[in-house]
């Protein structure tokens, strides 16, 4: 008899997968995917999971623990671990998190890789593109807080401490991939782009396609101010428009001083604009005019 996971254990395994792979998982959220009920019924009758497990367990978990529709990546890893089976809970948990990537996982990785390739070719051309896999993995590791410095300079780094800022990440890029690139700009751009995209995705999941705004610093460039401020008030955009405009605008964001496309992430290299912030309609500047279209 295979080990039968209780509802609680199913929850722990799914959460552990998300915890380790959230950046990849976030790239492969499928709003319209229906949960394969037959698969769950088969698992129940074969004794893999207990009877109380419902399709709702296989929803997407965001960073605040809320559930959203079925996530292809997380389901794929769970599926492979369940069908492989195990003698106890720990074995199944272990193979869910550490098993080699399978087909659904690989397609998630390919999406993440494709985005990364677009970024890197705009940021540094072919030299950088050759390292896309290493850079993607380092960035994933950075966001998971488990990227440790490989070079320690006395008094500068504590090797037990994970890399936790873009300057330190730039130094890791330099030490692993060599000179010849502006690693500071690249690290700043990649860190803030993934961070803001993640925050934007969170907003979309938590509140739906609501209106948001970004806040340029007082010292921001004229380009950013005109994108995000109008008549001294923040401009409003729908969050899905900002999220979707990211990949298309990448070349413009990297190669030109300022972009004409509002984005979730940085509008250009070294852009320090904060947000997106959800509109609460309590903002002092808020009035009822319709949001801007992109």
| Binding residues vs Zn ion (CB under 5 A) | 224, 267, 271, 273
**Three-state secondary-structure class, residue 180:** coil
**Closest separation in Å from C-beta 259 to Zn ion:** 9
In the complex with Zn ion, the residue whose CB is nearer, 149 or 262, is 262
DSSP-assigned states of every residue in 203-260: HHHHH-S-EEEEE--TT--HHHHHHHEETTEEPPEEHHHHHHHHHHTHHHHHHSSS-S
Chain center to CA of 72: 14
In the complex with Zn ion, the residue whose CB is nearer, 163 or 224, is 224
Contact between 233 and 201 under an 8 Å Cβ cutoff? The reply is no
Q: Which two tokens stand for residue 83?
A: 């069908």
**Closest separation in Å from C-beta 289 to Zn ion:** 23
Residues 259, 267: Cα–Cα separation, whole Å: 6
**Closest separation in Å from C-beta 225 to Zn ion:** 8
Residues 71, 55: Cα–Cα separation, whole Å: 12
Phi, psi of 277 (to 5 degrees): -110, 140
Contact between 79 and 70 under an 8 Å Cβ cutoff? The reply is no
**Closest separation in Å from C-beta 263 to Zn ion:** 9
Contact between 134 and 145 under an 8 Å Cβ cutoff? The reply is no
In the complex with Zn ion, the residue whose CB is nearer, 124 or 265, is 265
In the complex with Zn ion, the residue whose CB is nearer, 24 or 271, is 271
**Closest separation in Å from C-beta 265 to Zn ion:** 10
**Closest separation in Å from C-beta 224 to Zn ion:** 3
Run of H or E residues at 38: helix 37-45
In the complex with Zn ion, the residue whose CB is nearer, 172 or 193, is 193
In the complex with Zn ion, the residue whose CB is nearer, 187 or 220, is 220
**Closest separation in Å from C-beta 83 to Zn ion:** 47
In the complex with Zn ion, the residue whose CB is nearer, 151 or 222, is 222
Who contacts 48 (Cβ-Cβ below 8 Å, separation ≥6)? 2, 4, 5, 82, 83, 85
């Amino acid at each position: 008899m295979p080990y039968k996971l209780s509802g609680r254990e199913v929850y722990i395994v799914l959460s552990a997968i998300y915890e380790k792979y959230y950046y990849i998982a976030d790239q492969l959220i499928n709003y319209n995917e229906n949960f394969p009920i037959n698969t769950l019924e088969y698992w129940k009758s074969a004794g893999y999971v207990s009877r109380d497990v419902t399709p709702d367990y296989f929803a997407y978990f965001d960073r605040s623990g809320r559930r959203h529709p079925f996530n292809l990546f997380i389901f794929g890893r769970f599926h492979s671990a369940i069908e492989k089976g195990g003698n106890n809970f720990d074995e199944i948990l272990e193979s869910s998190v550490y098993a080699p990537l399978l087909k659904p996982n690989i397609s998630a990785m390919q999406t993440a890789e494709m985005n990364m390739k677009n970024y890197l070719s705009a940021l540094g051309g072919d030299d950088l593109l050759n390292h896309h896999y290493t850079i993607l993995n380092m960035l994933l590791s950075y966001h998971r807080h488990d990227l440790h410095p490989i070079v320690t300079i006395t008094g500068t780094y504590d090797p037990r401490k994970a890399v936790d800022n873009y300057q330190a990440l730039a130094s890791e890029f330099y030490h692993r991939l060599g000179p010849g690139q502006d690693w500071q700009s690249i690290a700043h751009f990649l860190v803030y782009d993934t961070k803001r995209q993640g925050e934007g995705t969170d907003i979309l999941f938590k509140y739906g396609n609501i209106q948001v705004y970004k806040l340029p610093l007082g010292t921001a460039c004229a380009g950013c101010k005109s994108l995000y401020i109008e008549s001294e008030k923040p401009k409003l955009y729908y969050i899905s428009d900002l999220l979707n405009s990211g990949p298309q605008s990448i070349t413009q964001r990297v190669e030109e001083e300022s972009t004409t496309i509002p984005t979730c992430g940085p509008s250009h290299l070294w852009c320090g604009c904060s947000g997106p912030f959800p509109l609460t309609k309590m903002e002092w500047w808020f009035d009822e005019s319709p949001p801007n279209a992109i």
